A and B are shown apart, each in its own frame.
Chain A
Amino acid sequence: MSAAAGIDSETAPAGAAPGIGRRLARNGAVRFGGAVLLVLLVLALAAPWLGTVDPTLFDPASRDLLPGRVGEVMTLDGNVLQHTFWMGSDGYGRDLYSRVLYGARVSLLVGATVALLALAFGTLAGLLAGYFRWLDGVLMRVMDGLMAVPNILLAVALVAMWKASLWTVIAAITVPEIPRVTRLVRSLVLGIREEPYVEAAVSVGTSRFAILTRHILPNCIAPLVVQGTYVCASAMLVEAILSFLGVGLPTDIPTWGNMMAEGRLEFTQYPQNVFFPGVFLALTVFAVNILGDGLRDTLDPRFGKRGER
């Protein structure tokens, strides 16, 4: 061994990896998916100022108009408005364009809320199951039980038990999503708890709670964000399916699923009733999935391990 090793003769790897924000902004999938979702969000939030009318207003005189036609709508106060039906109107004379935009609010709200709730509960259950071995068996058998029932069936049963409203629907969609998040987090925790840095934390006397929150949880975040996008996409589809089956949100709330359910009867003559909400639903789910793929490529250490090691 040389007698006088100077201070740190090694060189650090040159150029630290670019920040997470920069890498996200450089990923095409993230940019595309994010942009589409941003446009949809703006459309949904700014719907009242984008030439829409109240989506529940109907006028028998304007039934089944083709897209682009001009017709009349009577407001609740009795005023008659001239209105251009950009996407046509349905069998009650309601403006499809307005209903699609307001429907986007429901889809995005349901998707985001379900994703957050499922992540929150699933992460909690997964952390506990992964770290406390005695809880693992019990918790995971409950999750296996939940997963044994098809998602839709479970959601239908839950909605049927409660009274259908926005929040019961959200809860009913969330419950079947929780086991998948739990499984993911549990498997991550099982891997991370064996990492030397966790053992090092144990050996410097760190409490279990601090190990879970400061060492294990932060290293689960990236895969969780990715999983969140998939839950979000799935939730929007399930919400549409529930509405379509007539067990989702009440029919007086404009949702894409409700619109398609109502349009189904006269689909052969007036396909626009199903076409426009269908296209928006597909586009939204597609954008969310693309965003998820992009996030996975950039965030998930298993795929994006550039410059390390």
Chain B
Amino acid sequence: MSGASAAVMADDAPVLDVRGLAVRLPPGAERAHAVREVSFAVRKGELVCLLGESGSGKSVIAQSVMGLLPRGLPAVAGEVRLEGENLLAARPERLRRLRGTRMSMVFQEPATALNPVMRCGAQIDELLACHTALPAAERRRRILEVLAQVRLPDPARMLASYPHQLSGGQRQRIMIAMALILEPALLVADEPTTALDVTTQAEILALIRLLQRDHGTAVLYITHDFGVAAEIADRVAVLRQGELIEQGSAEEVLSRPRHAYTRMLLAAVPSLVPPERAPLATREEVLSAHGLGKTYAGGTFLARGKEVVAARDIELSVHRGETVGIVGESGSGKSTVARCVARLIEASAGRLALDGASVPLAGSVAREFRRRVQIVFQDPYRSLNPRRTVGAAIVEGPMNFGVPRAKARLRAQALMGLVRLSPGALERYPHEFSGGQRQRLCIARALALEPHLLIADEAVSALDVSVQAQILELLADIQRRLRLALLFITHDLRVAAQICDRVVVMQHGRIVEQGPVGAIFRAPRHPYTRALLAAAPGRRFDFALPRPPPA
């Protein structure tokens, strides 16, 4: 069938119809099929969200639709019909003609999806020149038109810009412009806002929704984020380990889930409503920072670059048994503050004190400081040395401080129990563990030194929502038991709402607002805090989400 016959099809015929799709994994993988028996449909003007955690096969479905499956992953059963035409049976030549014209895709990473050495205008023009016979002037007019449609300011300047001159949000708008310029029937969006800040994400989501309504495009939207799905989906399909376990209208699936797995996932999404927190028993100040600042002097002695202020005038204190969250978008300086406090980098201004004793900002740091301040990093795949056993990583700290190996081993075994892993795991290497398990190991390594202050730098941001809930619960539990001071850096307001006693909001290297979590979330005073809260996806749905009653 061709596009012409598709046009005469009944209006309610699905644009994309996936039936019984199965994609095989190479032998030796953890399961036989990447996806199996997956059936769903996307109608004209409808936005369907494929929801699933990592490894659920949602991206494989997107690749099957676009005909972009890697060589090792063959589609072995079922059909994928675009306007009635089975794409799995189509020749590569035919698929190439369809891509861009009848179906198009927006990827997660707007930084790498554009060619860095080509001007944005030329990249869009290439697409038009390839698929249409329009003359150059007409193409330019069309490009300017579509750039205006995706709400890019000053389209003429955008055309002449290289990708690196644009922000992440602008690049993603360019990608969407490219995807929509040929008026495709189907848009496949694979986590298009995951790499973006929350306020940018809100804008892009609104844009996708708007364009989809204007053009009647069918959208297959792939995401792991329930908030995003709640924000934009008409229909939702939930995937688990390659199987579609539940689908229905967004309203139905997100507020009255039938399947236990969906219920579990929804329950794991942290609420934006902070729970009541008991006041601190004591006011022992563990960490205090006054006027802390970090300035990077750019350039070398030959070429003086401009100074970059990463953080300035930071006033911060964390008490024993208290969790203080630093929230902000990328580039707000929240990680800089964490690293200055941990003395992994040297702050350039201000005062820092731990347990009441002043800590020098530069030069060598007292060994006792290293013991008392520990940090857990974001990327669980890179924070353990791949060439050393887990046990070696955990006993390293105590042995640095003179604890004999046998004693350090015993403590490591006890810590494994605390982070709910088996002591036998000490003999294994990091690659044998999943992301969440590795993060538990990192926590165990930090706790081995019995620190007073634990810094968690986006420690749950790389994890799936169900794993994230477990790690958050673990951190909260450990903090209660050991009465740690916890400095929690996150971009995720939902996480901050659930775990923090106090919240510090940062923007452009400065603190714009700080206070008790309830006050900040209920009555934010600073406009930026209000904007952040307003941009959090899925706010409307938040109260409807089924959650266990607070303990």
Residue among A205, A214, A307 making CB contact with B388, cutoff 8 Å: A214
Decide if A8 touches B270 in the complex (CB within 8 Å): no
Known: A14-B30, A196-B377, A200-B445. A2 touches B469 (CB 8 A): yes
Decide if B548 touches A197 in the complex (CB within 8 Å): no
* Interface residue B211 (Cβ < 8 Å from any Cβ of A): no
Residues of A in contact (CB 8 Å), total 37
- A15: B residues at CB distance < 8 A: 28, 30
Decide if A8 touches B437 in the complex (CB within 8 Å): yes
Known: A14-B30, A204-B370. A197 touches B470 (CB 8 A): no
* Interface residue A1 (Cβ < 8 Å from any Cβ of B): yes
* Interface residue A78 (Cβ < 8 Å from any Cβ of B): no
B283 to chain A: closest CB distance in Å? Answer: 27
Bound CA–CA A218/B388 (angstroms): 9
Bound CA–CA A197/B384 (angstroms): 5
Pick the most buried of A13, A17, A204, A207: most chain B CB atoms within 10 A of its CB: A204
* Interface residue B528 (Cβ < 8 Å from any Cβ of A): no
A97 to chain B: closest CB distance in Å? Answer: 46
Residue among A5, A16, A204 making CB contact with B431, cutoff 8 Å: A16
* Interface residue A161 (Cβ < 8 Å from any Cβ of B): no
Query: C-beta contact mask, A174-216 vs B, less than 8 Å → 1, else 0?
Result: 0000000000000000000001111111111111001000110
Query: C-beta contact mask, B440-477 vs A, less than 8 Å → 1, else 0?
Result: 10100110110000000000000000110110111000
Decide if A308 touches B498 in the complex (CB within 8 Å): no
- B387: A residues at CB distance < 8 A: 218-219
Decide if B449 touches A1 in the complex (CB within 8 Å): no
Decide if B472 touches A1 in the complex (CB within 8 Å): yes
* Interface residue B421 (Cβ < 8 Å from any Cβ of A): yes
- A195: B residues at CB distance < 8 A: 382-383
Residue among A196, A210, A307 making CB contact with B382, cutoff 8 Å: A196
Residue among B382, B386, B436 making CB contact with A10, cutoff 8 Å: B436
A68 to chain B: closest CB distance in Å? Answer: 50
Bound CA–CA A94/B306 (angstroms): 72
Known: A200-B445, A204-B374. A1 touches B469 (CB 8 A): yes
Bound CA–CA A214/B385 (angstroms): 9
* Interface residue B551 (Cβ < 8 Å from any Cβ of A): yes
DSSP majority for the A interface?
A: loop
Decide if B473 touches A2 in the complex (CB within 8 Å): yes
Decide if B432 touches A12 in the complex (CB within 8 Å): yes
Decide if B370 touches A205 in the complex (CB within 8 Å): yes
* Interface residue B420 (Cβ < 8 Å from any Cβ of A): yes
- B429: A residues at CB distance < 8 A: 16
Bound CA–CA A195/B430 (angstroms): 15
* Interface residue A309 (Cβ < 8 Å from any Cβ of B): yes
Decide if A203 touches B551 in the complex (CB within 8 Å): no
- A219: B residues at CB distance < 8 A: 385-387
**Residues in A10-29 with C-beta less than 8 Å from chain B:** 10-17
**Residues in B16-30 with C-beta less than 8 Å from chain A:** 28, 30
* Interface residue A76 (Cβ < 8 Å from any Cβ of B): no
Bound CA–CA A206/B367 (angstroms): 10
Known: A200-B442, A205-B400. A12 touches B385 (CB 8 A): no
**Residues in B516-551 with C-beta less than 8 Å from chain A:** 548, 551
* Interface residue B344 (Cβ < 8 Å from any Cβ of A): yes
**Residues in B248-272 with C-beta less than 8 Å from chain A:** 264, 267-268, 270
Decide if A11 touches B434 in the complex (CB within 8 Å): yes
Bound CA–CA A77/B429 (angstroms): 64
**Residues in B386-442 with C-beta less than 8 Å from chain A:** 386-388, 393, 396-397, 400-401, 420-422, 429, 431-434, 436-437, 440, 442
* Interface residue B319 (Cβ < 8 Å from any Cβ of A): no
Residue among A8, A14, A197 making CB contact with B385, cutoff 8 Å: A197
Residue among B386, B396, B470 making CB contact with A5, cutoff 8 Å: B470
Decide if B548 touches A307 in the complex (CB within 8 Å): no
* Interface residue B162 (Cβ < 8 Å from any Cβ of A): no
* Interface residue B342 (Cβ < 8 Å from any Cβ of A): yes
* Interface residue A9 (Cβ < 8 Å from any Cβ of B): yes
Decide if B400 touches A1 in the complex (CB within 8 Å): no
Bound CA–CA A214/B393 (angstroms): 11
* Interface residue B381 (Cβ < 8 Å from any Cβ of A): yes
A-B contact pairs, 29 of them (CB 8 A): A1-B268, A2-B548, A5-B469, A5-B473, A8-B437, A8-B440, A12-B434, A13-B431, A13-B433, A13-B434, A15-B30, A196-B382, A197-B382, A197-B385, A199-B344, A199-B375, A200-B384, A200-B393, A200-B442, A201-B385, A201-B396, A203-B370, A203-B375, A204-B396, A204-B445, A204-B446, A205-B400, A206-B400, A214-B385
9 shortest interchain CB distances as A-B pairs? A204-B397, A205-B370, A196-B383, A14-B30, A196-B377, A218-B387, A205-B400, A5-B470, A197-B385
